[in-house]
Amino acid sequence: MLAAAKGYRETTKFLHQYSASIDTKDFNERNPLIHAALTEKVWSFSIFLNKELIIR
């Protein structure tokens, strides 16, 4: 369980950093649909991991 929690924290940290890295004005203006889709996927995966950890 402890290893799962550490893995979850590391993965969530990476996902949030990735989400922040694509959240730039230039990228958002040039590719608004791609930006929205990537951000939604990142947060959906983060929520999925959170639920999986709670279930275990």
Q: Which among 42, 5, 45, 51 has a CA at the least distance from the CA of 23?
A: 42
Q: What is the pLDDT of residue 9?
A: 73
**43 CB-near residues (< 8 Å, 6+ apart):** 15, 19
pLDDT in tens, 1-56: 566 666 667 777 777 776 666 656 666 566 667 667 777 777 777 777 777 776 65
Q: What is the pLDDT of residue 13?
A: 76
| Cβ pair 3, 48 in contact under 8 A | no
**Which residues in 18-31 are b (16+ Cβ under 10 Å) and which e?**
ebeeeeeeeeeeee
Q: What is the pLDDT of residue 43?
A: 76
Q: What is the pLDDT of residue 8?
A: 67
* pTM for the whole structure: 0.38
Q: What is the pLDDT of residue 37?
A: 73
